[in-house]
Amino acid sequence: MSGTLIKLMAFPLIAPADSDGQTYRGFLSVHVHLSDPTHKLPLAVYGEPALQKLLLGKEELLQKRIGRCEDISVLLTDLKEILETCSTYPSPAHISAERYTTLFNEIDKLGFGTVKNMGDTMEHITFEYRDTSERTYEIEASIPADYPLSAPLIKVDLPQPPSALTTTSLTDHIHHIHSLIHQYQDYFNCMDEIDTYGQILDPDHPRGVDTWRRIALTHHCSVHIEIQPDTPRYLPRVRFFGAEKRTTHLWSQWQKATSSWCNEDTPWKNLKCILSDVLIDQVQKEQGQGEDVECGICYAYKLDHTVQETPDTICVNDLCNRGFHPTCLYEWLRSNPNSTRSFNVLFGQCPYCSEFYTSIQHESMT
């Protein structure tokens, strides 16, 4: 076995790229050219952007430490050390054994069956937790290199961020999250009931942090409700969307009936009592009794722009009452030769009830 191959045994991901043993390629597509004492060629290290980013600002140090190196194994050892010191997270060799021992013991207490994902250095650990209603939660823990001197950073999908703890123990932090999940059980139950029976327009995929819902009503109207996580059964804040005439009536109906709001019942049951004549539930939708909530022009509910639009421009004709995206209606009127314009206000006919006149004001699109 040649001397070069013996020296490279410590670096199994590095291999010669030429027969002269002057060029080597490695894991990060590193090309290392050794100094040639005969031709006085300077040392050069080339590689992928990831390698260049790690070595950025370290060029002088690199030349000082390995500039005169003529042995590939020594060069790679020095390069490896420089890359490890450049890394934002310490290498496994620089992490204390106490950290691993402490983490192992704490995970053992929590149960290894609760671990969904874990990195080799235990820098990131994801736990799974299932509540009494069989909902599953992912608890992400970022473990600092100096743990247990510093506390872990916990991320979890809850309606409110968890409060800070004085302890640095991973077990204490995870148990604290478990207690918060138990605390918000009534909130999650109430929101699940709304999502199950209501025709939810927004958000598309509700999460625990989303304490609001936009629910479809009849006549192309909708109601936006905000639930308080700590008191989910109390009267929520609401806002109605739709034609002005109908939303005025809905708001008046809401104000008269809020005195009968029962804090013992869930928000959905209260909504059914107050808005029973306009609230659309999933049973009605499945039976074909639900109404079209999409834009009457593009047939989509959300228009993907920087700011997503919803069909909130409603035809004032009660017999039509179709909803449109402001942008869609603007473009439709602008393309209609029968429309007229005064500054940035377009006047024309509704795409559905052509005998009725309508107008829209929209900022000019550039």
Q: How far is CA 364 from CA 303, 318, 325, 341, 344, in A?
A: 17, 29, 15, 12, 7
Q: Which of 4, 8, 7, 6 is nearest to 19 (CA)?
A: 4
Its pTM stands at 0.64
Is the separation of the CB atoms in 52 and 62 below 8 Å?
no
Q: What is the CA radius of gyration of the chain?
A: 32
> What are the tens digits of pLDDT across the range 255-275?
988 888 999 999 999 999 999
Q: What pLDDT is stored for residue 314 in this prediction?
A: 78
pLDDT given for residue 55 in this prediction: 73
- Residue stretches of the chain with pLDDT short of 70: 1-48, 50, 64-75, 83-94, 282-292, 305-308, 355-366
Question: 3-class DSSP state for residue 118?
Answer: strand
What pLDDT is recorded for position 39?
A: 47
pLDDT value of residue 155: 94
Q: What is the CA angle 269-275-278, rounded to 5? A: 125
